[in-house]
Amino acid sequence: MIYPPLLHLACEADYRKHYENTYCLGIILTFDGIAVHFRRNQFEHCFFESTKRDEVKDQFSTKRAERMDWIKVALQDPDSERYQGWNKTKKCHDKSRRVAIVLGVYVVVIAITRVGFADFVTAYVADSTGKRGQMPTIDKIRQGPKWK
């Protein structure tokens, strides 16, 4: 699939407005018919990063926001790699989370809420290593079970 160019807007408020207008006013259908719902309050989770790598997302991420228009295309891309998500509380893979990888390292996560429906969770470029020099995030995802 063809992915749109990076999105260059003036400020965080403009990215927020674009997210709400593009995603929150309706649903996006995945290539396999799952209706994905986007919530306004997911903006912070998706488009902010932790400056201290302590899981507190305290800084707006232009790197994430510039790829905002890739989310829809990734969900509709039948050639995406798809894996089960990780439940860090239970420390196991979660069949209700679908992680799609496109363009080598771009990740979009949805949570299946019932058959044919899901909520958007987050999207990001998985190009970093884990804490304390662990395996790169993208490699960890790819070691998990495929999503069916």
Tally of CB atoms within 10 A around 142? 14
- Identify which of 37, 44, 6, 12 has the alpha carbon closest to the alpha carbon of residue 23: 37
**In sequence order, which residues have a C-beta less than 8 Å from that of residue 110 and are 6 or more positions away?**
30, 34, 36, 75, 97, 98, 100, 118, 119, 120, 121
Q: What is the pLDDT along the chain (148 residues), one digit of tens a residue?
A: 999 999 999 999 999 999 999 999 999 999 999 999 999 999 999 999 988 777 778 799 999 999 999 999 999 999 999 999 998 889 999 999 999 999 999 999 999 999 999 999 999 999 876 566 677 889 999 999 999 8
Query: pTM for the full model?
Result: 0.92
* Bridge partner list, 142: none
